[in-house]
Structure 1
Amino acid sequence: MYVVEPVGKTMPYGVNRAPLGTPFIYLPPWTGNILAPAVPDERGNFDHYQPSTPGFEAAHLFGSVRFTLDVWERYLGQSVAWHFRDHHERLEISILPTWNNAQFGYGYLEVGSQFETDGSILPFSLDFDVIAHEVGHAIAFAVLGVPGLGKEFPEYVGFQEAFSDCVSLIAAMHFPSVIDNVLDETRGNLYLANRLARFSEFSPHSQIRLANNQRTMAEFVHGWKNEHDLSEPLTGAIFDILVDIFHESLVARGLISSEVENLADVAEADPAARAPLQDAFDRAFARRIDGFREALLDARDVVGMYLAETLWALGPDFLDYGDVATAMLAVDEVETGGGFSRLIDRNFRRRGIGELHAGRRINNRPRRGHSHSARTLLPRDISNFPKMSYRERVLLARSMSI
């Protein structure tokens, strides 16, 4: 993989419209001019680049992608084989600072910027959560694949988002500073607002969504508008599984009592239980800080491994969240003889996962197959797009020339 900072690139990869309005697919590689690439020092390191200097964003972006892959390739048990490998040898990681989004697609991972109301510009190339989330899509496409035409259930796109959020969460938990900050902030009560539960809090007002949420599938049975919203019941269930495994590890280590673990379950629904729960965690954490850290790292690795094994067990066609729950329970049966089956099943059922299913997508421009999804576009989809006139092709070529 490689990073490019294109000069003169005016549109992101994916589906765009030509000068006369005809939609077309725009895919890498970028062949125009680029800014000078970041280069390593004599030891192969990039830490000589300082924030706000040329090359720093590119180095940070590449490092974040590589770090996330390193974490998840360990859980997967092998290197990620790109789903676009038949057409591209390497992943192009592109910075498009004028674009207000980020995406992974066929042969590329592209990041733009967040434009704040006060006029400030926050580059996504410096936002680890956003970058790791897009790497999550890359992993999902590599292992799970893309549904066949007419075989995409709504929950496939929700799974893509939930899995990618979990990739980001688990990868962030490999930074010792994140673990220390979370434990210092919560004293082990992870249901308090904390870094793990917030995705992309790049600025104080711009977090994307919460892993610690109360959303259920009942909200989506009559339809849905946004795949990120649709993902939240699944993300929330997996976060709850992480917390419950953490609690069980604390009990097994003698760091909290089973009564405190039960109180944590009560506190999710009963606000009156939250103050005594926090008092109990405060006292326990003060006695064995290192034990809490070890328990959280163990829970991280259990959930990371379970998610990876679940991904291997799934197929893209007609995928729904119930398949995810069934696969994870099967993984637990193999790994522990069903040791976590009760808490896994409970957390999925509480969200209606496996019992309720998402209805149809509700918007004014329904997607038709892959041609309206930048993430799932494949070269075969080019034939589904209308032909441009010669005049429009010339105008497009001129608009994209450097």
Structure 2
Amino acid sequence: MTSSSSSRPYDTPQWRRLRVYALDPSLDLGIDTALINQTFVRVPWEHVTPGPVDEYLEVIDIDPASGCCYEPVNLDHPSLLAQDGLLPSTGDPRFHQQMVYAIARTTIRHFERALGRTAFWADDHPPDSDEPQFVQRLRIYPHAMAEENAFYDPDRVALLFGYFAARPRRSAQVMPRGTVFTCLSHDVIAHETTHALLDGMHPRFTEATNPDVLAFHEAFSDLVALFLHFTFPDVVRNQIAQTQGDLGRKNLLADLAREFGQGTGLYGALRSALDGLDEPGSGGSTDTPEYENLLEPHQRGAVLVGAVFDAFNMIYKARTSDLLRLASGGSGILGPGALHPDLVARLADEASLVAERVLHMCIRALDYCPPVDLTFGEFLRAIITADFEHTREDGWAYRTAMIEAFRRRGIYPSNVNSLSETSLRWQEPTDQEQLTLSGILMNLDVLNAIRQQVQGWALGHNRERAWRAMAAAKTVLSDHLSEFLSREQADQATSLLPGGVAAALGLNFQKRGLEVHSVRPARRIEPDGQSQLDLVIELTQSFHYSNDALRQAINTGTPLPAQAKDGDFVFRGGCTLLVDLEALPQEAKDDASREAQATPVKLIRYCVRKHVDSVKRLERVWRYVNGDLNAGLRAMYFGLSNGTVLNEPFALVHRQASEGR
């Protein structure tokens, strides 16, 4: 008898489970870690062709050093579907493909969850076209080179992983002359994928205009890899038990690229979040390195990583203090011996919860950063502001812990009077600024047109269609902005703010180089269940100068030279506008009705500026880019070929970092 339900389609799974190394293959050799190192991750279920190739990623396994082209893994093969993918193996290239795909896809998912939108890679700019092209997939090469390196290549929009013969010290868990595959390191994969995601959002963050810029790229990528450790429950429980719940002690969760570090001759991991302070949360020591004196990107970036991890540890301790009091008879001090498994499980749950919140705080902050010339202090302000917008009530003092941790590391924002949360948040525009800035966006129903374009940019929607909607929104805004500002320039009396709209945006529209850099939505579900839809608009402007003429003007104190069309020194400024789409009137208002309003529409949440007319900032950027010390850094981290800077920054950063150790 045939069931009436036999023709009904089966439900599509939500997740695909894939086996991975939780950290890297070296932990399989430790008696305490062998049972926790092989685990699973869940990636969104979607159509995957051999490679693997999906909507976001394309794994291409060609090994130039050996001349091999390895068979691509087919994750939809029934045998692999039945056993959650291939078993972890250092000797099977197909597992290497599975590993890079699974960890890269997991990293993407955390970005999308935090930002509330689908992720894009950096645009392609063909030499024969003025229009940027959509890049659907990030290409991943698991065996791209036989060397101690792995890097993101922005020109090819690709991740390239190397492999090498280990040269460990005697006590290392790496076999001498054994092959170390960087594509099997969770931390290296997550780190490089984050470089690609960050470049897709902020392509100007690869321009070294101050010592923090390259260091931020490295630090942020380390932070993502670090906090993704806490998504592996068995590893977290193991390390909680090993440290008796004190994550300020040396532990695997705080280490990055352990096998890579030992394989290149280090005693331990390549980097650790616990470096820099003798005891996180203790307030530092006399041996704490001065943040301002560290110029090498990885060393300077380690200060930022340490600060964020220290904040995480303070919050974790606060949230678990009651558990420790219950387990210690009220003293809060645990006695010797192993912790009860139930206590370990509860501590691990709290650690994972705090790690995810801190990670998403950092990711959301990317929408609140200036589009160029970022500093660590500005990143702190972005974290505080973004988290305030997401969660007004800071019940467990996440923001306070972040401020305190940055202070302990010597990271202070400029242009603030105190380190209070109110002072650190980006300031909302005044009523007069609201009138001026809203005047740009509400004339001609510009934002309504943009709102229609971004409605479809949500998780699960067609990515290329969303990218084209963003491009259309940029065109709409760019055309309207040019027309609006040309009218303002012709009749300065129409300006609602002294200095005009250009001053309100930190730009100078009497000079060329204006670019609507990005128009993207930011969706948030607040703890009370309310949904908030904002629009993030980035405007940038580029000035070109003759480097020699600028050098003479700065060194002699004479007026700055005029722009040079083909100038060899580029100075950029701009702003990030956070626009409240929920506050946008459904019908456009003309200038007269808008001026007649008793209270201006609070359309602009924040305007984060980097003024292009700041002579002080221009001189600072010029001195950094052209200084004797920085010239050496540029040669080291960007490479020089016949006097030309090579455009593979992350490759050379990582290569020099490993050689320097």
Paired with 1:308 and 1:241, the residues of 2 have a C-alpha distance of: 15
**In the alignment, which of 327, 331, 334 is matched to residue 386 of structure 2?**
331
Alignment of 1:54-65 (within 5 A): 54-65=93-104
Deviation of 1:33 (Å):
7.6
Paired with 2:63 and 2:206, the residues of 1 have a C-alpha distance of: 36
Which residue is equivalent to 1:235?
A: 305
Contact 1:220 1:230 in 2 (8 A): yes
Counterpart of 1:327, as a letter, is A
Which residue is equivalent to 2:115?
A: 76
Contact 1:41 1:48 in 2 (8 A): no
Structure 1 residues 366 and 247: alpha-carbon distance in aligned structure 2, compared to 1, 3 A threshold: closer
SS at match of 2:69: coil
**In the alignment, which of 290, 295, 299 is matched to residue 354 of structure 2?**
299
Paired with 2:180 and 2:340, the residues of 1 have a C-alpha distance of: 36
> In angstroms, what is the RMSD of aligned CA positions?
3.4
Paired with 1:161 and 1:54, the residues of 2 have a C-alpha distance of: 28
Counterpart of 2:64, as a letter, is G
Counterpart of 1:67, as a letter, is T
**Structure with larger Rg:** 2
Which residue is equivalent to 2:226?
A: 169
Alignment of 1:231-310 (within 5 A): 231-251=301-321, 254-257=322-325, 279=334, 288-310=343-365
Contact 2:290 2:410 in 1 (8 A): no
Structure 1 residues 318 and 257: alpha-carbon distance in aligned structure 2, compared to 1, 3 A threshold: farther
Alignment of 1:1-400 (within 5 A): 1-8=57-64, 34-43=69-78, 45=81, 47-48=85-86, 51=89, 52-84=91-123, 86=133, 88-94=135-141, 95-106=143-154, 107-117=157-167, 118-147=176-205, 152-202=209-259, 204=262, 205-214=267-276, 219-222=290-293, 224=295, 226-251=296-321, 254-257=322-325, 279=334, 288-334=343-389, 335-338=391-394, 339-354=397-412, 362=629, 365-367=632-634, 371-375=645-649
**Which sits farther off after the overlay, 326-335 or 292-301?**
326-335
Deviation of 1:257 (Å):
4.9
Structure 2 residue runs of 5 or longer lacking an equivalent are: 1-56, 125-132, 168-175, 278-283, 415-619, 639-644, 652-661
Structure 1 residue runs of 5 or longer lacking an equivalent are: 11-31, 261-275, 378-402
Counterpart of 1:249, as a letter, is R
Alignment length (residue pairs): 336
Contact 1:158 1:231 in 2 (8 A): yes
Amino-acid identity (%): 22
Paired with 2:136 and 2:628, the residues of 1 have a C-alpha distance of: 35
Contact 2:303 2:409 in 1 (8 A): yes
Paired with 2:298 and 2:178, the residues of 1 have a C-alpha distance of: 25
Deviation of 1:376 (Å):
7.2
More strand, by proportion = 2
Contact 1:255 1:284 in 2 (8 A): no
Structure 1 residues 281 and 189: alpha-carbon distance in aligned structure 2, compared to 1, 3 A threshold: farther
**Which sits farther off after the overlay, 316-325 or 65-74?**
65-74
TM-score computed with the length of structure 2 as normaliser: 0.46
Deviation of 1:333 (Å):
2.9
Deviation of 1:345 (Å):
1.3
Paired with 1:199 and 1:162, the residues of 2 have a C-alpha distance of: 12
Counterpart of 2:307, as a letter, is A
**Which sits farther off after the overlay, 215-224 or 318-327?**
215-224
Deviation of 1:279 (Å):
3.4
**Which sits farther off after the overlay, 348-357 or 103-112?**
348-357
Cα deviations across residues 311-368 of structure 1 (Å, max 9, x unaligned)? 2211341211101111222234331434333322111011110269998784774427
Cα deviations across residues 12-32 of structure 1 (Å, max 9, x unaligned)? xxxxxxxxxxxxxxxxxxxx9
Paired with 2:77 and 2:228, the residues of 1 have a C-alpha distance of: 28
Paired with 2:367 and 2:361, the residues of 1 have a C-alpha distance of: 10
Counterpart of 2:345, as a letter, is D
Paired with 1:297 and 1:223, the residues of 2 have a C-alpha distance of: 31
Structure 1 residues 248 and 354: alpha-carbon distance in aligned structure 2, compared to 1, 3 A threshold: same
Deviation of 1:68 (Å):
2.1
Paired with 1:291 and 1:317, the residues of 2 have a C-alpha distance of: 42
Paired with 1:136 and 1:340, the residues of 2 have a C-alpha distance of: 23
Cα deviations across residues 152-203 of structure 1 (Å, max 9, x unaligned)? 2220111111111111012221111221122121121001111111101126
Which residue is equivalent to 1:22?
A: none
Deviation of 1:74 (Å):
1.8
Deviation of 1:282 (Å):
6.8
Structure 1 residues 100 and 305: alpha-carbon distance in aligned structure 2, compared to 1, 3 A threshold: same
SS at match of 1:190: coil
TM-score computed with the length of structure 1 as normaliser: 0.73
Which residue is equivalent to 1:268?
A: none
